[in-house]
Amino acid sequence: MSARSPADRRQQMMRLPELGDADARQIEAFLDAFWAENGLSPATLASYRRDLEGVARWRNGQDGGLAGADRAALFEYLRWRTEQGYSPRSTARLLSVLRAYYGWCVRRGARGDDPTALLEPPKLPRSLPKALSESQIEALLAAPDTDTPLGLRDRAMLELMYAAGLRVSELVNLPSTAVNLRQGVLRVTGKGSKERLVPLGEESQHWLQRYLEQSRPQLLGKRPAESLFVGVDGQAPSRQQFWVLVKRHAGAVGIDPARVSPHGLRHSFATHLLNHGADLRALQMLLGHSSLSTTQIYTLVAREQLRHLHAKHHPRG
Protein backbone atom coordinates (compact mmCIF):
# COMPACT_ATOMS: atom_id res chain seq x y z
CA MET A 1 0.00 0.00 0.00
CA SER A 2 1.41 3.41 -0.97
CA ALA A 3 1.75 6.05 1.72
CA ARG A 4 -0.73 8.88 1.55
CA SER A 5 0.41 12.46 1.37
CA PRO A 6 0.09 14.82 4.37
CA ALA A 7 -2.74 16.60 2.53
CA ASP A 8 -4.64 13.32 2.12
CA ARG A 9 -4.21 12.53 5.80
CA ARG A 10 -5.41 16.00 6.82
CA GLN A 11 -8.54 15.55 4.71
CA GLN A 12 -9.14 12.16 6.31
CA MET A 13 -8.82 13.67 9.80
CA MET A 14 -11.22 16.46 8.84
CA ARG A 15 -13.85 13.83 8.03
CA LEU A 16 -13.75 12.53 11.60
CA PRO A 17 -16.42 13.75 14.07
CA GLU A 18 -15.96 16.96 16.04
CA LEU A 19 -14.26 16.79 19.42
CA GLY A 20 -16.70 16.20 22.28
CA ASP A 21 -16.82 18.52 25.29
CA ALA A 22 -15.84 15.81 27.80
CA ASP A 23 -12.80 14.80 25.77
CA ALA A 24 -11.85 18.45 25.26
CA ARG A 25 -11.92 19.11 29.02
CA GLN A 26 -9.88 15.98 29.73
CA ILE A 27 -7.22 16.90 27.18
CA GLU A 28 -6.99 20.47 28.45
CA ALA A 29 -6.64 19.33 32.07
CA PHE A 30 -3.91 16.83 31.14
CA LEU A 31 -1.93 19.34 29.08
CA ASP A 32 -2.10 21.92 31.88
CA ALA A 33 -0.78 19.35 34.36
CA PHE A 34 1.85 18.04 31.95
CA TRP A 35 3.09 21.55 31.16
CA ALA A 36 3.35 22.37 34.88
CA GLU A 37 5.43 19.22 35.51
CA ASN A 38 7.68 19.31 32.43
CA GLY A 39 7.75 22.89 31.14
CA LEU A 40 7.23 21.90 27.51
CA SER A 41 7.34 24.37 24.64
CA PRO A 42 4.12 25.64 23.01
CA ALA A 43 5.01 23.73 19.81
CA THR A 44 5.36 20.43 21.72
CA LEU A 45 2.11 20.99 23.59
CA ALA A 46 0.35 21.75 20.31
CA SER A 47 1.56 18.48 18.77
CA TYR A 48 0.45 16.56 21.88
CA ARG A 49 -2.96 18.23 21.67
CA ARG A 50 -3.35 17.22 18.01
CA ASP A 51 -2.41 13.62 18.80
CA LEU A 52 -4.88 13.29 21.67
CA GLU A 53 -7.65 15.06 19.80
CA GLY A 54 -7.12 12.69 16.87
CA VAL A 55 -7.73 9.66 19.10
CA ALA A 56 -10.71 11.32 20.79
CA ARG A 57 -12.36 12.26 17.49
CA TRP A 58 -11.80 8.76 16.12
CA ARG A 59 -13.41 7.33 19.29
CA ASN A 60 -16.32 9.80 19.00
CA GLY A 61 -17.39 9.35 22.64
CA GLN A 62 -17.74 5.59 22.31
CA ASP A 63 -17.38 3.65 25.60
CA GLY A 64 -16.12 6.64 27.53
CA GLY A 65 -14.28 8.34 24.67
CA LEU A 66 -10.57 8.97 25.02
CA ALA A 67 -10.46 8.38 28.79
CA GLY A 68 -12.28 5.04 28.52
CA ALA A 69 -10.34 3.48 25.65
CA ASP A 70 -8.96 -0.01 26.26
CA ARG A 71 -5.90 -1.65 24.69
CA ALA A 72 -7.91 -3.20 21.85
CA ALA A 73 -9.37 0.20 20.90
CA LEU A 74 -5.96 1.86 20.89
CA PHE A 75 -4.49 -0.98 18.85
CA GLU A 76 -7.30 -0.53 16.32
CA TYR A 77 -6.58 3.19 16.11
CA LEU A 78 -2.87 2.52 15.52
CA ARG A 79 -3.83 0.08 12.75
CA TRP A 80 -6.08 2.73 11.20
CA ARG A 81 -3.23 5.27 11.29
CA THR A 82 -0.95 2.81 9.51
CA GLU A 83 -3.56 2.43 6.77
CA GLN A 84 -3.66 6.22 6.44
CA GLY A 85 0.09 6.29 5.77
CA TYR A 86 1.36 7.86 8.99
CA SER A 87 5.07 7.35 9.56
CA PRO A 88 6.49 5.12 12.32
CA ARG A 89 8.06 8.21 13.88
CA SER A 90 4.75 10.04 14.26
CA THR A 91 3.15 6.86 15.64
CA ALA A 92 5.95 6.51 18.18
CA ARG A 93 5.34 10.10 19.30
CA LEU A 94 1.60 9.40 19.57
CA LEU A 95 2.24 6.33 21.71
CA SER A 96 4.54 8.37 23.95
CA VAL A 97 1.89 11.02 24.64
CA LEU A 98 -0.79 8.34 25.14
CA ARG A 99 1.38 6.70 27.78
CA ALA A 100 1.78 10.04 29.52
CA TYR A 101 -1.96 10.73 29.34
CA TYR A 102 -3.13 7.34 30.66
CA GLY A 103 -0.43 7.38 33.34
CA TRP A 104 -1.89 10.71 34.46
CA CYS A 105 -5.39 9.17 34.47
CA VAL A 106 -4.20 6.29 36.65
CA ARG A 107 -2.39 8.59 39.11
CA ARG A 108 -5.47 10.72 39.67
CA GLY A 109 -7.74 7.67 40.06
CA ALA A 110 -9.74 8.25 36.86
CA ARG A 111 -9.07 4.64 35.82
CA GLY A 112 -7.37 1.62 37.33
CA ASP A 113 -5.29 0.39 34.40
CA ASP A 114 -2.99 1.74 31.71
CA PRO A 115 -4.15 0.49 28.28
CA THR A 116 -0.81 1.37 26.69
CA ALA A 117 1.17 -0.97 28.97
CA LEU A 118 1.43 -3.78 26.39
CA LEU A 119 1.51 -1.66 23.23
CA GLU A 120 4.90 -1.80 21.51
CA PRO A 121 6.25 1.29 19.74
CA PRO A 122 7.14 0.87 16.05
CA LYS A 123 10.78 0.32 15.19
CA LEU A 124 12.25 3.54 13.85
CA PRO A 125 14.82 3.61 11.07
CA ARG A 126 18.05 5.28 12.14
CA SER A 127 18.31 8.05 9.60
CA LEU A 128 21.54 9.95 9.20
CA PRO A 129 21.40 13.77 9.26
CA LYS A 130 21.98 15.43 5.88
CA ALA A 131 25.02 17.68 6.10
CA LEU A 132 26.45 19.94 3.43
CA SER A 133 30.13 19.83 2.55
CA GLU A 134 32.40 22.58 3.84
CA SER A 135 32.68 24.07 0.35
CA GLN A 136 28.88 24.12 0.01
CA ILE A 137 28.57 25.84 3.38
CA GLU A 138 31.08 28.48 2.28
CA ALA A 139 29.07 29.11 -0.89
CA LEU A 140 25.78 29.28 0.99
CA LEU A 141 27.12 31.73 3.58
CA ALA A 142 28.41 34.01 0.82
CA ALA A 143 25.12 33.93 -1.14
CA PRO A 144 23.20 36.88 0.44
CA ASP A 145 23.74 40.38 -1.01
CA THR A 146 25.26 42.10 2.01
CA ASP A 147 24.89 45.54 0.41
CA THR A 148 21.19 45.41 1.32
CA PRO A 149 19.75 45.46 4.88
CA LEU A 150 17.94 42.15 4.45
CA GLY A 151 20.90 40.53 2.73
CA LEU A 152 23.19 41.57 5.57
CA ARG A 153 20.66 40.21 8.06
CA ASP A 154 20.47 36.91 6.16
CA ARG A 155 24.27 36.61 6.15
CA ALA A 156 24.42 37.22 9.90
CA MET A 157 21.66 34.63 10.54
CA LEU A 158 23.33 31.98 8.38
CA GLU A 159 26.75 32.64 9.90
CA LEU A 160 25.36 32.46 13.42
CA MET A 161 23.36 29.31 12.85
CA TYR A 162 26.35 27.49 11.39
CA ALA A 163 28.83 28.90 13.92
CA ALA A 164 26.70 28.01 16.96
CA GLY A 165 24.84 24.91 15.73
CA LEU A 166 21.47 26.40 16.60
CA ARG A 167 18.04 24.91 16.12
CA VAL A 168 15.83 26.99 13.84
CA SER A 169 13.47 27.91 16.69
CA GLU A 170 16.44 28.98 18.81
CA LEU A 171 17.74 31.24 16.05
CA VAL A 172 14.53 33.08 15.21
CA ASN A 173 13.58 33.49 18.89
CA LEU A 174 16.91 34.98 20.00
CA PRO A 175 16.50 38.23 21.94
CA SER A 176 18.95 41.03 21.28
CA THR A 177 20.29 40.56 24.82
CA ALA A 178 21.47 37.02 23.98
CA VAL A 179 24.60 38.24 22.19
CA ASN A 180 27.73 39.34 24.03
CA LEU A 181 30.21 40.35 21.35
CA ARG A 182 32.73 41.61 23.90
CA GLN A 183 33.06 38.12 25.38
CA GLY A 184 32.28 36.35 22.10
CA VAL A 185 29.46 34.17 23.45
CA LEU A 186 25.79 33.57 22.77
CA ARG A 187 23.23 32.66 25.44
CA VAL A 188 20.76 30.19 23.94
CA THR A 189 17.49 28.96 25.45
CA GLY A 190 16.88 25.47 24.10
CA LYS A 191 14.40 22.67 24.64
CA GLY A 192 12.84 22.52 28.09
CA SER A 193 13.88 26.15 28.67
CA LYS A 194 17.46 24.98 29.30
CA GLU A 195 20.11 27.64 28.78
CA ARG A 196 23.56 27.10 27.33
CA LEU A 197 26.46 29.36 26.43
CA VAL A 198 27.91 28.90 22.95
CA PRO A 199 31.20 30.50 21.86
CA LEU A 200 31.17 32.54 18.64
CA GLY A 201 33.91 32.49 16.04
CA GLU A 202 35.47 35.58 14.49
CA GLU A 203 33.44 35.37 11.28
CA SER A 204 30.06 35.16 13.00
CA GLN A 205 31.05 38.00 15.35
CA HIS A 206 32.09 40.12 12.38
CA TRP A 207 28.78 39.68 10.56
CA LEU A 208 26.73 40.11 13.72
CA GLN A 209 28.55 43.36 14.45
CA ARG A 210 27.85 44.66 10.94
CA TYR A 211 24.20 43.63 11.16
CA LEU A 212 23.72 45.29 14.55
CA GLU A 213 25.42 48.50 13.49
CA GLN A 214 24.12 48.83 9.91
CA SER A 215 21.19 46.61 9.03
CA ARG A 216 19.07 46.30 12.18
CA PRO A 217 18.73 50.09 12.72
CA GLN A 218 17.63 50.51 9.09
CA LEU A 219 15.05 47.74 9.34
CA LEU A 220 13.64 48.96 12.65
CA GLY A 221 13.74 52.71 12.20
CA LYS A 222 12.51 54.17 15.48
CA ARG A 223 10.49 51.08 16.44
CA PRO A 224 11.60 49.15 19.53
CA ALA A 225 12.15 45.40 19.24
CA GLU A 226 13.29 42.68 21.62
CA SER A 227 14.19 40.20 18.86
CA LEU A 228 17.77 40.05 17.65
CA PHE A 229 16.81 39.44 14.02
CA VAL A 230 14.01 41.49 12.45
CA GLY A 231 12.45 42.07 9.04
CA VAL A 232 11.10 45.17 7.32
CA ASP A 233 8.00 44.92 9.52
CA GLY A 234 10.11 45.06 12.67
CA GLN A 235 9.15 41.50 13.62
CA ALA A 236 11.33 38.42 13.96
CA PRO A 237 11.17 36.09 10.93
CA SER A 238 9.27 32.87 11.47
CA ARG A 239 10.79 29.41 11.09
CA GLN A 240 8.95 29.05 7.79
CA GLN A 241 10.33 32.37 6.50
CA PHE A 242 13.86 31.32 7.43
CA TRP A 243 13.31 28.00 5.65
CA VAL A 244 12.34 29.89 2.48
CA LEU A 245 15.37 32.20 2.56
CA VAL A 246 17.79 29.30 3.15
CA LYS A 247 16.45 27.46 0.11
CA ARG A 248 16.48 30.64 -1.99
CA HIS A 249 20.12 31.38 -1.19
CA ALA A 250 21.07 27.72 -1.75
CA GLY A 251 19.49 27.71 -5.20
CA ALA A 252 21.28 30.94 -6.09
CA VAL A 253 24.69 29.28 -5.65
CA GLY A 254 23.83 26.02 -7.39
CA ILE A 255 23.01 23.88 -4.35
CA ASP A 256 19.93 21.70 -4.84
CA PRO A 257 17.30 23.30 -2.54
CA ALA A 258 15.82 19.84 -1.94
CA ARG A 259 19.06 18.87 -0.15
CA VAL A 260 19.06 21.94 2.09
CA SER A 261 17.09 22.74 5.19
CA PRO A 262 17.68 25.11 8.11
CA HIS A 263 18.27 22.11 10.36
CA GLY A 264 20.89 20.95 7.86
CA LEU A 265 23.10 23.84 8.95
CA ARG A 266 23.00 22.45 12.49
CA HIS A 267 23.88 19.00 11.17
CA SER A 268 26.72 20.49 9.14
CA PHE A 269 28.04 22.31 12.22
CA ALA A 270 28.16 19.06 14.20
CA THR A 271 29.58 16.91 11.39
CA HIS A 272 32.32 19.38 10.49
CA LEU A 273 33.40 19.75 14.12
CA LEU A 274 33.69 15.96 14.45
CA ASN A 275 35.64 15.75 11.19
CA HIS A 276 38.14 18.22 12.64
CA GLY A 277 38.59 16.25 15.86
CA ALA A 278 36.00 17.72 18.24
CA ASP A 279 35.25 15.80 21.43
CA LEU A 280 31.81 14.18 21.53
CA ARG A 281 31.06 15.46 25.04
CA ALA A 282 31.93 19.00 24.03
CA LEU A 283 29.72 18.66 20.97
CA GLN A 284 26.87 17.47 23.19
CA MET A 285 27.15 20.66 25.27
CA LEU A 286 27.32 22.90 22.21
CA LEU A 287 24.23 21.30 20.66
CA GLY A 288 22.28 21.30 23.91
CA HIS A 289 21.53 17.56 23.80
CA SER A 290 20.34 16.10 27.10
CA SER A 291 21.64 12.66 26.15
CA LEU A 292 24.98 11.70 24.62
CA SER A 293 23.26 9.01 22.54
CA THR A 294 21.52 11.77 20.56
CA THR A 295 24.89 13.31 19.73
CA GLN A 296 26.47 9.98 18.78
CA ILE A 297 24.46 9.79 15.55
CA TYR A 298 26.88 12.36 14.12
CA THR A 299 29.73 9.89 14.48
CA LEU A 300 27.82 7.71 12.01
CA VAL A 301 27.76 10.62 9.57
CA ALA A 302 31.51 11.11 9.88
CA ARG A 303 32.16 7.39 9.36
CA GLU A 304 29.89 7.31 6.33
CA GLN A 305 31.80 10.21 4.77
CA LEU A 306 35.11 8.47 5.41
CA ARG A 307 33.76 5.31 3.79
CA HIS A 308 32.78 7.21 0.64
CA LEU A 309 36.15 8.98 0.61
CA HIS A 310 37.96 5.64 0.83
CA ALA A 311 35.82 4.07 -1.91
CA LYS A 312 36.42 7.02 -4.22
CA HIS A 313 40.15 7.53 -3.81
CA HIS A 314 41.70 4.25 -2.64
CA PRO A 315 43.12 2.17 -5.52
CA ARG A 316 41.31 -0.90 -4.18
CA GLY A 317 38.24 0.99 -2.97
Residue 266 annotated in active site: yes
Active site residue 130: no
Which residue of the set 130, 191, 210, 239 is catalytic? Answer: 191
Q: Which of 59, 153, 249, 289 is catalytic?
A: 289
312 is catalytic: no
DSSP string across the chain: -PPPPHHHHHHHHHTSPPPPHHHHHHHHHHHHHHHHHH---HHHHHHHHHHHHHHHHHHTTGGGTTTT--HHHHHHHHHHHHHTT--HHHHHHHHHHHHHHHHHHHHTTS-S--TTTTPPPPPPP-PPP----HHHHHHHHT-S-TTSHHHHHHHHHHHHHHHHT--HHHHHT-BGGGEETTTTEEEEE-GGG-EEEEE--HHHHHHHHHIIIIIHHHHHTT----BSS--TTSSPPPHHHHHHHHHHHHHHTT--GGG--HHHHHHHHHHHHHHTT--HHHHHHHHT-SSHHHHTHHHHHHHHHHHHHHHHHSTT-
Catalytic residue among 167, 247, 249, 267: 167
Choose the catalytic residue: 57, 81, 216, 266. 266
Mark whether 194 is an active-site residue. no
The yes-or-no answer on residue 267 being catalytic is no
Q: Please indicate whether residue 310 is annotated as part of the active site.
A: no
Of the residues 99, 130, 239, 263, only one is catalytic, namely 263
**Residues identified as active-site:** 167, 191, 263, 266, 289, 298
